[in-house]
Amino acid sequence: MFESIERVPGDAILGLIEAFKNDSNPDKVDLGVGVYRDEAGITPVMRAVKEAEKLLIETEKTKAYIGSHGDPEYGADVLETVFGADSEVLAANRASATQSPGGTGALRLAADFIKSNLPGKSIWLSNPTWPNHLGVFGAAGLNIEKYPYVDADNRLDFDGMLAALKQIPEGDVVLLHACCHNPTGFDLSKDQWQQVLAVVQERSLLPLVDFAYQGFGDGLDEDAYGVRLLANTLDEMIITQSCSKNFGIYRERTGCFIAVAKDADDMEDVRSQLAITARENYSNPPGHGSAIVATIFNSDELTAMWREELDEMRGRINGLRSDFVKGLAPHGLDQRFAHVAEQRGMFSFTGLTPDHVAQLRDKHSIYMVKSGRANVAGLNSANLDYVCNAIADVVK
C-alpha cells in the first residue's frame, strides 16, 4: 500500500541546516535556524539548568508518569511568571496550566480544543506569522484567515492590522504574538495593545496569545504587558507558552497551555476538556524539562542565576541589532536597515528579497530563510563585518 504514497518537499529550514552543513566555505554563516547562539556560535546549556540537573540526579526518585496536566509545581511556576506574583487572575483561580510538549504542543492543544469546543470558529493569523502556525491549525481542521502585519515598506502595518481586526466575525479566534514577533521582530507598543484590546472587546473575539519568547524582548515583566492587559480585562483567553528559548531547553520539549476563564467554575470545565485533549494527543508530557524549571524556581540562588543569564542573552541580541546597523553605515545602508535595531527577539524581517537571499547563499555562503528572516543571534564579532559587506554587495 505504501507504493502509492508520494514524497513531499521537506521543511525549508531543515533543508537550510543540511545545505549549511555541506557547505565547505570556512566563512559560512547560519542565520536561518531558530535557536539562540552565543559569541562562539554555540547554543549553550545555561548554568542554572546545569545546576538544576545536578540536583535532579541526586534527588529525583521516580520516572513515573506526571499526568495529563503535567507537573503541578511547574504549572504554578509558569503561571506566576506569565501573570506576575500579585496577579488578580491567579488570586481568583481564573487561570489553569496544562503542561505540553513544547510551545508547539501547546498550540496543537489549543487547535484541538477550539475545534472540539468552539465549532465553526475561524482562527486569524498575522501575515506573516511563524509558518508552523499554518501547519498546526490546518492539521486540526480549523479554517485559517489572515490579518496584515507588515506593509510594503517592511514596517509594522498597525493601521492595516487594526482595520482588519475590526472586520473579524464576532466570536472568532485571533492569534497574537506576545513579544518578539516571529518572523518579523516587530512588536506592539503599550498604546497599540490598548487599541487591540478595545477591538477584541468590541468584536467579542477570543485572543490566543503565543508567548514563546518571554524575556527575550525587553524583560520578563515588560514582555508580558500585552498578556497581562488582556487577562486582567477580558473574561476569557488562551495563552501558549514555551520554555525552549528562555531556559535554553529546546530538546526537552517544555511548554504550557494556559486558559483564562470568567471564574473558577468555568475554569474547571475547561480544564476537564483539556485533560481529554492532552490524553488523546500524547497522554502525558515529558517530565525532565518541567523538573528543571521547577527546580530552578524552587531555589532563590538558581532563579537569580537564570535571570542573570537571560538578561545576558537578551542584551547580546539587542546589542547585535545595533552593531549590525552600525556595520552597514559605511556602505550607506544604515537608514535602509534602521528597523533592525528597533525590532525585538531573535528574528528580524530584514527586508531582503528572495533574490538577495539566494545571492547571499550562492556568493557568500550566508544562509537565511527565503523571506529574508534572519536569526540575529547567529551574528558575532567574527562574522558581523563579513555579513554587512555581503549584504552591501547584493543589494547595491
Active site residues: 130, 210, 245
DSSP state, 371?
T
List the beta bridge partners of residue 348. 374
Contacts of 46 (CB under 8 A, 6+ apart): 247, 248, 306, 309
Q: How far apart are CA 31 and CA 23, in angstroms?
A: 14
The beta-strand segments (E) located in the chain are: 29-30, 95-100, 123-127, 144-148, 173-177, 206-211, 237-242, 255-260, 347-349, 366-367, 373-375
Chain Cα centroid distance, residue 179? 8
Q: How far apart are CA 345 and CA 325, in angstroms?
A: 16
68 in helix, strand or coil?
coil
User: Is the Cβ–Cβ distance between 333 and 391 less than 8 Å?
Assistant: yes
| Ramachandran angles phi, psi of 234, nearest 5° | -95, 160
- Residue 100 is placed in which grid cell? 505540553
**Strand-pair partners of 174:** 124, 207
Q: Among residues 80, 46, 65, 102, which one has the least CA distance to residue 254? A: 102
Q: Which residues contact 388 (CB under 8 A, 6 or more apart)?
A: 324, 327, 328, 331
Q: What are phi and psi of 99, to 5 degrees?
A: -65, 145
